Amino acid sequence: MRSNPERAVAPKISIVMAAYNEEHHIARALDSLVAQTFIDWESIVVDDGSTDATADIIRRYADKDSRIILVRNEANLQLSESLNKAIGLARADIVARADADDVNLPERLAKQYRYLQAHQEVDVLGTGAYLLDQTGARVNTFCHPQTHAELRSLSFLKIQFFHPSVMMRRRFFDTAGLYDPRYPNAEDKEMWLRGLAAGCSYANLSEPLIEYSTDGFVKSWSSILRHGLSLFRIVRDRKIKNGYIQAFILFSYTAAIKLKIRRPKSLRTN
C-alpha cells in the first residue's frame, strides 16, 4: 500500500472494494467513484490475487488520485477475507461498499451520507438499483423495503440490501462483527441476519443510486453450489424455522435460472 501524508486526516467515508480478475470492469467502477459529487472519501481497493491486469489498472488510478489505495493479496482469499482486510484499513466512521463491476451514480455517496447524518439511529443504509442485463443495458429498477420494520419482517429467503449499495457505520461492525468466511457467496446475508439479532437498525433509500450488474443472475455451477451450501449452514447455525425449505427453494430457483427454465422476475420488463 502506498504511504501518503495526506492520509493523516481521516475522510468522512471509506469505500471498500474487492476485485478479482475484473480488468474489463474495474476502470468503469473507479471512474464512478472519482465522479462522485461527495469528495471527502478514500477507497480501499483489494486486488484479490488477480491473474489479469486488474492490479495494474487500479495502480494507475491510485497514482493519479491519492484517495484510491491499492492493497494486493498474494493469493486469492475470496470476498469475505478481502473486505475484512479493507475494513481494517479504513479510517472513516462510515464505510461504504462498492463492487468492481458496478457503477455508482454521481449522487450516491452524498445522498446516503446526508440520510445517515439525519437518521443517527440507522446502522446500515442501502439504495435502490438499476438492474443491468448481460449486455450492460438497464432493464429494470428495483428497491428492497425501506424501513427497519419492513426489513426485519422479511423471511430468510429474502435479501435486505443490494450488497454493493450499502453504507455502514463502524459501530455496526463493532456490534455485529465482520464478514464470516464460512459462508461464501452468502456472507452478506449471514451478516445482515447477525446484525438484526444484535439489534442493529436498517433502512433503504428507494432511489436507484447504483447500476447493478446481474449477468442475468446466471451463476456458475460452482457458485450456485457454494451459495446453496452456505444457505444450509446459515439455517443450521442460526436455527431458522423452516429455513431448510426456504434454502432449498432459493437453491432450486438459481439452478432453474442456470438451466434457462426460469427468467428472474426482476429482469422481466412486462
3-state helix, strand, coil in the chain (%, to 5): 40, 20, 35
The domains located in the chain, with CATH, are 1-101 (3.90.550.10)
Contacts for 17 with CB less than 8 Å, ≥ 6 apart: 29, 43, 44, 45, 46, 86, 97, 98, 99, 100
Number of C-alpha atoms within 13 angstroms, CB side, residue 38?
Answer: 20
Cα distance between residue 183 and residue 229, in whole Å: 8
Distance of CA 204 to CAs 64, 119, 124, Å? 33, 12, 8
211 has pLDDT over 50? yes
What are the cell numbers at 135?
Answer: 449486455
In this prediction, residues 15-37 reach a mean pLDDT of 97
1 has pLDDT over 50? no
Per-residue DSSP letter, 128: E
Hey, how many other C-beta atoms are within 10 angstroms of the C-beta on 89? 15
142 has pLDDT over 50? yes
Most confident of the ranges 130-139, 163-172, 218-227, 258-267: 163-172
Q: How many helices (H) and strands (E) does the chain have?
A: 9, 9
Query: What per-residue string of b and e applies to 150-185 under the rule 16 or more CB within 10 Å gives b?
Result: ebeeeebbeebbbbbbbbbbbebbeebeebbeebbb
41 has pLDDT over 50? yes
DSSP β-bridge partners for residue 48: 73
Which region, left, alpha or beta, applies to residue 215 given φ > 0 means left and ψ of -120 to 50 means alpha? left
Cα distance between residue 15 and residue 103, in whole Å: 13
192 has pLDDT over 50? yes
What are the cell numbers at 214?
Answer: 446481474
User: In this predicted structure, which of 32-41, 113-122, 239-248, 249-258 has the lowest mean pLDDT?
Assistant: 249-258
Residue 58 contacts residue 47 (beta carbons within 8 Å): yes
